[in-house]
Amino acid sequence: MSTLVIVESPTKAKTIRNYLPSGYRVEASMGHVRDLPRSASEIPASVKGEKWAQLGVNPDDDFAPLYIVPSDKKKVVKTLKDALKEADELLLATDEDREGESISWHLLQVLNPKVPTRRMVFHEITQEAIQASLDNCRDIDSQLVHAQETRRILDRLVGYTLSPLLWKKIAGGLSAGRVQSVAVKVVVKREQERRAFRRGSYWDLKASLLKDKNAFEAKLYSLGGTRLANGSDFDEATGRVAEGREVVLLDETQARELQTRLQAGVWTVSNLEERPNNRKPAPPFTTSTLQQEANRKLRLSARDTMRVAQNLYEQGYITYMRTDSVHLSEQAIAAARACVTTKYGTDYLSPKPRQYATKSKGAQEAHEAIRPAGSTFRTPKETGLTGREASLYDLIWKRTVASQMAEARQTNITASIEVENALFRATGKRIDFPGFFRAYVEGSDDPDAAIEDQEVLLPALATGDALSCSDLEAIGHETQPPARYTEATLVKTLESEGIGRPSTYATVISTIIDRGYVNLVNNSLVPTFTAFAVTALLEQNFPDLVDVHFTARMEQTLDDISTGEVDWLPYLKAFYSGDQGLETMVQERETQIDPTAARTVLLDDLEAKIRIGRYGPYVEIGDGEESVKASIPADVPPADLDGEQIERIIKQKVEGPDKVGLHPDTGEPIFMRIGPYGPYVQLGEPTDDNPNPKRASLPKGTQPEAVTLEMAVGLLRLPRTLGAHPETGKSIKAGQGRFGPYIVHDQGKEGRDYRSLKGDDDVLTVTLERALELLAQPKAGRGRKKVDPLKDLGAHPDDNEQVAVFNGPYGLYVKHGKVNASVPEGVEVDAVTLEQALSWINAKASTKKGRGGKTKSTTSRTTKTAAASKASGAKKTTKASTAKASSGAKAATGSKSTGTKKSATSKTAKTTTKRSTPKSASKKADNPPETDA
């Protein structure tokens, strides 16, 4: 008897094959084999004329979905059908979640097997798990399939109904989504809070005290029995102490007078308090907490975390990585406790096996937390893993093992110290027993170092002890605005509010970045002005769709559909159809929304209007023919745009750039200009002979008004030669690049060795000696490197250029010339063929040609120009574009058309949607974006 087993990916197939008996054949489906049409070309001719065909769902036929087999999956389907002909039994072994259940159902529909078919489910790929799964196969769960299908249809309805409205009213290339639009709103709301924030200032004192030559620090706590104000006492809206707070607020004068008076006073310990405190280890990882901790510790994006975890699961190293459960099986608890005993000893073992309760209502206790696979846990060294896989496995191993370790016992110590009418406090912490700290401390990669950092030891003190003050420092503080979201904190917020599912967060975050709603700056998510405009339009016209609580209730309903508590069809009808349905609402609002108002971003305290144009945000002052428009630099966040910046931008537009002075060598004027990438200096005016005069960006943090003629000349002379390297004789230069100031050692055929300048280093004054010191240091693992292909697929039949597979920040992609095309999720490197790659590349190339009438050559030329601009630190353009830039945003924004802007293409793995942006706002595009999994 022969059995065909179908899984999603070649890696999973390769691993599971090792644990199956002879007579079992394992094939990969490469993810979904069927889906809704992603472009007009995929719509079957038989329904192409139907008004619902582009939607891919027929609302008039009980929301019947139009499923098609994409062209890149036809060969996969043929392979599976051929394999099925030789089989006596079919086992569908896709992942155990709703997505996996849906893939199995689609396989059943497409293959239409005539042999017995069963569903094979496991949460880890080990010998025991596979054997248990073979013994306990089941049928496909129709409720899970309905839940996933409803989610898929719902996302399609929202995305394909609202996105065209955004194209018409704001700009082409935008998208709306059931989860992504709420995520954008959350980020925008935080930016609005930062903008509304008003700083407050306060002062306090810090004393350096001595007891028997042992030094420690204490901070002023109260004066005359009244507590000193700190940052938490301020009202963020006013910058003043919140009403009703009885605190002492010191200014600088008062703090310095107090400093002088108290330093010579008598310092005495008035009270000593010790409070024991036990800390329990954190639960094992869920999808959400793994994404958060990997972002904090490993600086991995949510997308990268899920991709690496998927690889670890498919290779048999960890259990299934899409889970809301913190539950551990008895097998896992036993394995973790064995690790504790072996590595740390029985003293570090929790007295009883520790089990955690899952708080998420939708979680299934049959699932487990993410943990090392198997009945015994391989240590990180035993796996032989490297790179990100090793780091992530190490994180998972430590967190799981720590969950079965003893509590950490620590003592918090507070010493109260009096001097005249002032009370100072010194706080310390003593680790009495490290417990689980020995294995894992949240936010630290080195548990031993973390234990030292957590301990703050005070000298032996007793009430009545006299102390000497060696120094008393007056310190000024300013309250800080709410921190912007990072990927970790956004994931935490989305989960706590019940928005979407943790398994989709990676896709959602990637989408809002790809669509230009959010920029990732130093690990912070900074919303753009476009995000403000889109959020305002949706809040004003479709408030429920971006309401956090409404979205959470929608997610709960989808969970209830999976358990059979709610019928999926009535729910879809109520959401989309009828007088109060989404379809009717969009039709009604479309005629009411003024495009000019929709493209306007209202910011408090600014008289100028901020608008979204075809080439980005711009500021407008005045009305009608008297109005002045100027582009806003791309690096200015909405929260930081103020009247002074606007005045400078408008002044440059009206009066022309400020003249810093004349270059001493050429006599040409040096201008201070502000471009899309920030302020820069420019030597002379553009001419026919020299359309692109030399430009140099200002160093980070340098304000235009602080630039002197000497500094401007120095910047324009960069890169400057510092001298020759004593070992190679080759030149060392200092320069300013896209990523800041640097030095470079040109080693000829050996290449160039770069180092970034540090803190106080000045690119204009750095010496050869300092450069040699920096070059002697190990190179930091940052910056762009030449990327080698993961797999060379061969030559393209048209031009014999290389076609290869690469790994990029958004996953695998194939490349031919200047065309990059994403590899669908689930397709591994080894499985990619030249034929598949050519089909993906051709599909991508055709969408490039269709965007706004731009040809491939135009797109390439634009890309080259942009790349050159960024490399030099200032936007360099052709003669025509230079003229356009100098005339500001008026010409760029005066056109009514919003469709010629090149649309962003989603780089998500689950949805490789490619569409052409309409030339006019009223023309429908082939394929509106889908972004919520």
Rounded CA gap, 727 and 729, in Å? Answer: 6
φ and ψ of 822, to 5 deg: -65, 145
* CB 308 within 8 Å of CB 367: no
Cβ within 8 Å of residue 878, ≥6 positions away: 691, 865
Q: From CA 696, how far away is CA 713, in angstroms rounded?
A: 10
The C-alpha atoms of residue 902 and residue 848 are separated, in whole angstroms, by 9
> What is the rounded CA–CA span in Å between residue 488 and residue 152?
26
Strands (DSSP E) along 441-522, which ranges? 466-478, 518-521
Residues contacting 737, CB < 8 A, separation 6+: 871, 873
Provide CB contacts within 8 A for 470, sequence distance 6+.
Answer: 208, 209, 210, 215
Separation between Cα atoms, residue 715 and residue 423, nearest integer Å: 52
Angle ∠(670,675,677) on CA atoms, nearest 5? 120
Q: How far apart are CA 288 and CA 294, in angstroms?
A: 10
427: which 2 tokens?
């706080």
Tell which residue, 71, 72, 92, 115, has the closest CA to residue 16: 92
CA distance 478 to 239: 10
Query: Considering only CA atoms, which of 434, 432, 415 is closest in space to residue 424?
Result: 415
* Residues sharing a CB contact under 8 Å with residue 643, sequence separation 6 or more, in sequence order: 605, 606, 607
Q: State how far the Cα of 93 lies from the Cα of 12, in Å rounded to an integer.
A: 10
Identify the DSSP state of 457.
P
Contact 907, 811 (CB under 8 A): yes
Strand partners, 58: 64
737, 677 contact by CB (below 8 A): no
Q: How many CB atoms lie within 10 A of CB 243?
A: 7
Whether 743 contacts 755, CB under 8 Å: yes
Count CA within 13 A, CB hemisphere, residue 854: 21
Cα dist. 66→52, 57, 569, 607, 928 in Å?
Answer: 10, 6, 16, 50, 16
Contacts of 636 (CB under 8 A, 6+ apart): 645
Q: 779 with 786: CB under 8 angstroms?
A: no
Mark 610-620 as b/e (b = at least 16 C-beta within 10 Å).
bbbbbbbbbbb
Provide φ and ψ at 559, rounded to 5°.
-65, -40
C-alpha 544/C-alpha 583 separation (Å) is: 14
Query: Which DSSP helix (H) or strand (E) runs through 276?
Result: strand 267-279
DSSP 27-57: EE--S-S-B--SSGGGS-GGGTTSTTTTTTE
Whether cis (ω within 30° of 0) applies to the bond prior to 281 is no
Contact between 388 and 781 under an 8 Å Cβ cutoff? The reply is no
Task: Report the candidate in 538, 755, 558, 665 with the shortest Cα–Cα distance to residue 99.
Answer: 558
Catalytic residues: 320
From 211, 271, 225, select the one nearest 422 (Cα to Cα).
225
Q: Measure the CA–CA gap between 443 and 464, rounded to whole angstroms.
A: 39
